[in-house]
Amino acid sequence: MLSGIRRYLIRKTFVYVLTFFSAVTIDWLIPRLMPGNPISIMMSRFASLPEASKYMYSYFMESFGLDKPLWVQYINFWKAVLHGDLGISTYMYPKPVADIIKDALPYDIAILLPAITLSWIVGNWLGAIAGKNKKLDSFLMPVFYFLTASPYFWFAIVLAYILGAKLDLLPISGAYSYGIMPSLSLEFIVDFLKHWILPFLSLFLVMLGGWAIGMRNMIIYEVEADYVRYLEALGASEKTLMKHAFRNAILPQVTGLALQLGTMVAGALTTEIVFSYPGIGYILMQGILNQDYFLIQGCFLVIVISVLVANFIIDLLYAVIDPRVRFSFTEGE
Amino acid sequence: MRRILGLLLAVLIVSSLGGFAGYAQAEELPRNETLYVGGGLWSPPTNFNPLNPSPVTGTVGLLYETLFTYDPLKDQLKPWLAEEGKWINDNTYEVKLREDLKWQDGKPLTAEDVKFTFEIARKHKGVFFSNIWSWLKEVKVVDDRTVDFVFSDPHYTEWNYWLYMIPIIPKHIWEKIDNPVDYANNENPVGSGMYKLYKTDQMRCIWVRNDNWWGIKYFGKPAPKYIVYVIVYSNNVALTMLVKGDLDWSNFFIPGVPDVKSKYKIVTWYDKPPYHLSANLALLFLNDNKTPFNNPDFRRAIAYAINPKEIAQRASQNQVLPADPSGLLPLPSHQKIKAEDLIKKYGWSYDPEKANEILDKLGYKDVNGDGFREYPDGKPMRFTIIVPYGWTDWMEMARIISDQLAAVGIRVDPKFPDFGKYWDDITKGTFDMAINNFGSFISITPWTFYNWILDPNVAPTGEPTYGGNWGRYKNPEVAELLTEIARTKTLEEAKPLYRKLQEIWLKEVPYIPLIYNGAWYEASPAHWTNWPSEKNPYAYPITWHNYWQLGGALVLLKIKPVTAGGGATTPAKTTESAKGSTTPSPTSKDKGLCGPAALVALSLVPIVLYRRRR
């Protein structure tokens, strides 16, 4: 069995390295295929005399190494990446890309990690209930469909309008009050949580619908499966039936969760915009609009890595939670 | 297992709450001493380098200062760091600095610092004013307070512009920095200005008053102790904050302002349309290199077909003024040179009949009867007009223009590419029609406007150009006039040249002025008063980068808090209640904690119950 797993791991690792290499290469190439160039756009944000812009254009082209042929840029890029250097952003010049990500990402994680995991837990739970209870199902399904079909920004705006503007219960902009200094005081934490609720809720509820529908469908499918029928015929309790159905139904949901967690580092763009909440999503979008090669590269590098890591963890996890996968390694021996 | 986990969690929460309670109270900026501003900051603040093209707004004006400031309302160059400046001979400009200037670290600001600021631009081409050295010869320190600028080819007119644009930096700090161009300067930057950088984070930039500012004895003390410059991504949020009194001074374009202005007593410059002063000119650019736009008569026909009034009304809710054919801004520096008689003689106004007449005469007729004109040789004629995606007011302008031109039989499709593509198309001159305004900002001399829009050093089509002559209009006479104007000493000397320029502009119609974009300004009277307006026009109220020295800084010197002084008991109470929901005051602390906690607890109940039952 061990050698089976080792072979499996070696094969997987090889695939992952290959995927990483090509994904990062594509992320490097695509922005460069877009018309326009980052330095020119950088100049556009600076209203000055034509003569002055001309001087700066050539200076920045050279200092960012964009005057070199593409293949040289490509080699330099890998050299820098392997040294842990993601370069300097043109959009947020002269801030290093690594610092931009480091400063913005915690806000996304603070919103997205709880939203994804809690919605996954609650969604699976509600979906499972709906799957086995017809009466509840007919009531819950429309709610799930409503939630999952709502665009994030629309739902966010509705929440902000009702809870923020009309009822004036919760603040609608920023991660904390504009007049408070971050500190480890109770006051600040409460303030932070107040600002956190609406963006969290807007993501949590929309995601919830999707998870619940997925789970409900899987449960209905599993409950009809032969093994459940067999158990039923044996006179097993409903609890045992559901336990086995649930275990099978949860597998695709685990994959979904891991992928969601992997793409978490791309931020929650619409939520960030609606609530003026800090995070990487808005910055990445601006980076793309400003053709900030370095910021785009850096962000996607992090996204690629985290998606791959998440996938790798699922692969390992599957061997644990799905006996069939485990069995397939030992089968040949 | 689950029970143990739950217990652990509970212990953790309780102990951490206890721990936090032991800490000091959160630092909260006192509302009656804090000014909340927005509209000029669109990404987390990172760059406070005044030598850079686009540092965080306030870097120049609050932190670093210029020798002079410029007041666009009175069209005056006013001494700031300088006490006076004058030409002592044909190619030497002498600046006398004020007495007792000092940096925020207490060191004196001297002529050496001024010299150093210019020298750094000579060495480093990435500094935004380094091109000056193609006509500046040397900077001489005469004594501690006197500097002479010796020019090889003095551009008298252009020099006035740079006098209020170049921030002076401290030599004793910047001489130690290897590459001053990509230095972010975000850790305790030392300037000479009325504010110091206090703190930055992902959503704001906070400035704190420099109580040892050299200027207090000349200008008085700015009223707000703190300035919180906020990042807000959406106009709706900005409007909500403004009406709630959470945002004191807004430089956003906010579509709903005319509707809510009177209800919430929001201050704008004018009480009636257009509400705002003008800041720059948006034009319709035509690609003068392409047929049929290379024909001035065709361009004139388009000018006749366009109705700027309708554009101002439909695209911008009348928050802007329609432009007249000269395109000169309704501010004194431009109005001084405007030749009304030439506009009457060679100008145009909305008249589709006239447009039809010209087009018919040129031979562009609708041959196949589809409602649109064809080229004289019968080929179909179809153009696009480009505007960056997401710039909603401009997108609406493009649609209106498309409609207006359709009415005279010219088919124009509005297209909204991403900004990068748009910028690529206009800088390389591969577009048909486009809307743009980037370099048409108000300045001390209309020369900057003409030099931008008619830039004679334009690159050939396909290569990026840097001025605003996107359509590559070429005219050797214009090139000559522009070089001459840059070198005129007085306005009187320049006036006949400007007349010639305007005559060419009106006769040739290189581009078509549409609207005067506003200097968006909305202020809330909830916490600060004495805001500038038409009735109290003491300053141009804009806080964008490079506008502080045009008036933004003066506003800080003149506004007054609604509740005077900190500490006093009665005013403190009113601020407390006025704080609204965004800042939890100590009294509402318990309630604030219980609300969300109760919510979380309630939502947990069903989960717990369900688990039990199982």
Higher-confidence position of B232 and B148 = B148
**Nearest CB to A59 within list B126, B158, B230:** B126
Average pLDDT on B584-596 reads: 36
How far apart are the CA of A14 and the nearest CA of chain B, in angstroms? 37
The listed range with the strongest mean pLDDT (A235-249, A267-281, B213-227, B562-576) is B213-227
How far apart are the CA of A198 and the nearest CA of chain B, in angstroms? 11
Q: How many CB atoms lie within 10 A of CB A237?
A: 9
pLDDT digits (tens, 9 = 90+) for A15-46: 999 999 999 999 999 989 888 889 888 888 77
- Taking the C-alpha atoms of residue B258 and residue B271, their distance in angstroms, rounded to an integer, is 9
Q: What is the CA radius of gyration of chain A?
A: 25
pLDDT on residue B587? 32
Say if A167 is an interface residue toward chain B (CB within 8 Å): no
Neighboring chain A residues of B596 at a CB cutoff of 8 Å:
190, 193-194, 197
Residue A142 lies in a domain: yes
Average pLDDT on A200-222 reads: 92
Nearest CA in chain B to A184: B20
Report yes or no for ipTM above 0.90.
Answer: no
Nearest CA in chain B to A187: B26
Under an 8 A CB cutoff, do B54 and A46 touch? yes
pTM of the entire predicted model? 0.86
**Nearest CB to B125 within list A59, A168, A187:** A59
**Nearest CB to B53 within list A40, A56, A190:** A56
Average pLDDT of the residues of chain B: 88
How far apart are the CA of B288 and the nearest CA of chain A, in angstroms? 19
**Is the distance from CB of B111 to CB of B143 less than 8 angstroms?**
yes
How far apart are the CA of B350 and the nearest CA of chain A, in angstroms? 30
- Taking the C-alpha atoms of residue B484 and residue B160, their distance in angstroms, rounded to an integer, is 15
Q: How many CB atoms lie within 10 A of CB B11?
A: 10
Whether the per-residue pLDDT at B281 is higher than 90: the answer is yes
Domain encompassing residue A21: 2-34+86-330
How far apart are the CA of B91 and the nearest CA of chain A, in angstroms? 21
Residue A311 lies in a domain: yes
Consecutive H or E run containing B611: helix B589-613
**Nearest CB to A289 within list B232, B420, B455:** B420
Q: Is B277 exposed, middle or buried (0-12, 13-18, 19+ CB in 10 A)?
A: buried
Q: What is the CA radius of gyration of chain B?
A: 28
Nearest CA in chain A to B227: A179
Q: Which of A46-50, A124-128, A227-231, B99-103 has the lowest mean pLDDT?
A: A46-50
Residue A252 lies in a domain: yes
Question: DSSP 3-state assignment of B430?
Answer: coil
| DSSP codes of every residue in A8-56 | HHHHHHHHHHHHHHHHHHHHHHHHHHSSS-HHHHHHHT----HHHHHHH
For testing the chain B interface, which of A49, A163, A284, A291 should be mutated: the one with the most B CBs within 10 Å?
A: A49
**Is the distance from CB of B400 to CB of B314 less than 8 angstroms?**
yes
pLDDT on residue B573? 34
Under an 8 A CB cutoff, do B126 and A60 touch? yes
Helices then strands, counting H and E runs in chain A, come out as 14, 0
Residue A9 lies in a domain: yes
- Taking the C-alpha atoms of residue B455 and residue A48, their distance in angstroms, rounded to an integer, is 12
Residue A301 lies in a domain: yes
Whether the per-residue pLDDT at B575 is higher than 50: the answer is no
pLDDT digits (tens, 9 = 90+) for A95-132: 999 999 999 999 999 999 999 999 999 999 999 999 88
Under an 8 A CB cutoff, do B131 and A177 touch? no
Whether the per-residue pLDDT at B610 is higher than 70: the answer is no
pLDDT on residue B11? 52
Q: Which of B407-411, B441-445, B569-573 has the lowest mean pLDDT?
A: B569-573
Under an 8 A CB cutoff, do A177 and B546 touch? no
Provide the Cα torsion B266, B269, B275, B276; round to 10°.
-120
Average pLDDT on B443-447 reads: 95
Whether the per-residue pLDDT at B412 is higher than 60: the answer is yes
**Is the distance from CB of B247 to CB of A172 less than 8 angstroms?**
no
Whether the per-residue pLDDT at B314 is higher than 70: the answer is yes
Domain count, chain A: 1
- Which residues face B286 on adjacent strands? B433
**Nearest CB to A181 within list B27, B246, B424:** B27
Neighboring chain A residues of B610 at a CB cutoff of 8 Å:
125
Question: CA separation (Å) from B579 to A28, A171, B574?
Answer: 48, 12, 9
Residue A47 lies in a domain: no
Under an 8 A CB cutoff, do B28 and A169 touch? no
For residue B526, name the pLDDT band (cuts at 50, 70, 90).
Answer: very high
Residue A204 lies in a domain: yes
Higher-confidence position of B589 and B105 = B105
Nearest CA in chain A to B600: A197
For residue B591, name the pLDDT band (cuts at 50, 70, 90).
Answer: very low
Neighboring chain A residues of B20 at a CB cutoff of 8 Å:
184-186, 189
Q: Which spans in B164-249 are helix H?
A: 171-174, 216-219, 235-244
Query: What CATH number is associated with residue A290?
Result: 1.10.3720.10
Residue A66 lies in a domain: no
**Is the distance from CB of B44 to CB of A278 less than 8 angstroms?**
yes
Q: How many CB atoms lie within 10 A of CB A134?
A: 9
Whether the per-residue pLDDT at A290 is higher than 50: the answer is yes
Sign of the C-alpha dihedral computed for residues B439, B334, B324 and B299 taken in this order: negative
